[in-house]
Amino acid sequence: MTSVRHALIAREGWPVLAAVVVFAWLSAWLGGLWALSPWLLLLVVVLYLFRDPRRRIPALPLAVLSPVDGRVERFARADDALLGGAAWRIQVRMARQGVFSVRSPIEGKVQSIEMDHALMVCTDEGDRVLWRIEGHPWFAPRCYLQPGERVGQGQRCGFALLAREVELLVPASSRLEIHPGQRLRAGESILATLVHAPGASAIGNDVT
């Protein structure tokens, strides 16, 4: 397994963190140390919301990883034009107490699609995985990537503060590795395994 190194606070949190520190310093300068209390509390909240701990990415190139922290709600077969036909649709409810950084489920090239808060990546073998985020009404999901860029498996690719749900579409030939209610960690938990061998079974769980 490999460990991806990065700052422990998501990039969206740094401006907020800097503003809180500045206002805390001004409050202490003008009103004394007692005036620090509410700002220290706010600082703890900001650090909690924007925390982004390191994750250990499985050394499994064919694995489709969870893009977010959350819980499997349901999965079913579906037809999708963007993936070129049959696919597995996986719905993940994001954890309110989880980390809100979004990670790429697979390695490949970012594809251009006409869909809000969605991203599609195509692997070198031609497998496509698409995921769409249902964001919070007050906080739109952020994406760091542009069409044509390459992204690594488990790489941080966005941020979705207090988002509600993520829907993923993976090739129908994939072998699912999940069950309803299963808890997931972004960049670590395996949702499915891409299957390329002719005649290989693509059903690893009962559909609910």
pTM (2 d.p.): 0.84
> For the segment 101-128, what is each residue's pLDDT rounded down to a tens digit?
999 999 999 998 878 899 999 999 999 9
Query: Domain ranges in the chain?
Result: 2-49, 60-193
> For the segment 60-85, what is each residue's pLDDT rounded down to a tens digit?
999 999 999 999 999 999 887 777 78
Task: Identify the residue with better confidence: 13 or 33.
Answer: 13
Burial of 70 (0-12, 13-18, 19+ CB in 10 A): buried
The string of DSSP letters for 20-62 reads: HHHHHHHHHHHH-GGGGHHHHHHHHHHHHHTB----EE-S-TT
The DSSP output letter for 136 is B
State the CATH class of domain 60-193. Answer: mainly beta
